[in-house]
Amino acid sequence: MKKICIGDKFQIQCYKHNGNVHRCWEEAVVLEVNKDYIVCGNNKTLVTRSEGVSWRTREPAIMYFFKNEWYNVIAQLKSDGIYYYCNIATPYILEEDTIKYIDYDLDLRIFPTGEYKILDRMEYKYHKKIMNYSDDLDIAIKNGLDDLINRYKNNSEIFSSDKNYNYYEMYENIKRYNEIHNF
């Protein structure tokens, strides 16, 4: 497998349990690679849903994709602060130039005030039933959500505003360099 380097560009593909593509993001630029996760950034990137509907993201995002955890984290840098959108999902895999994962509906939304909310419980129950999630899968998903909440409550560095703003500055520098050098 090709070594991942800072500045590499990937597409992101999110699937559902039944194997259908749910959403695709046109671009994610690698900002850090470590043993547990990769960090990527994007801004105003094209997102396409499975039905063919497309739009561009409105704000910069810093994304954490984990090798062994059942979630990924998106820090959305909005004008009134950082919002975190955390997907309960499989650990990521890389295939060619694409980051792939399976989304399991439950989401954790963290607001700049520090409050958080678990989203899409009904969607999870519905998909669990119609797609026949196994008991082991159900446990992995619930453990992923619990672990994510604990990471947030324990001030994990992935939820550091300073760190995420620094990643965004790094993203901007990489984009400027690539524009100057026609990459």
Which residues participate in catalysis according to the annotation?
23
Nearest to 60, CA basis, from 81, 39, 76, 84: 76
For 172, other C-beta atoms within 10 Å of its C-beta total: 13
Q: Could you identify the residue written with the tokens 């678990």?
A: 118
Q: Could you identify the residue written with the tokens 């993203």?
A: 171
Supply 6's token pair.
């800072």
Report the run of H or E that residue 10 belongs to, with start and end: strand 9-15
Nearest to 99, CA basis, from 72, 135, 136: 72
Pairing label, strands 9-15, 98-110: parallel
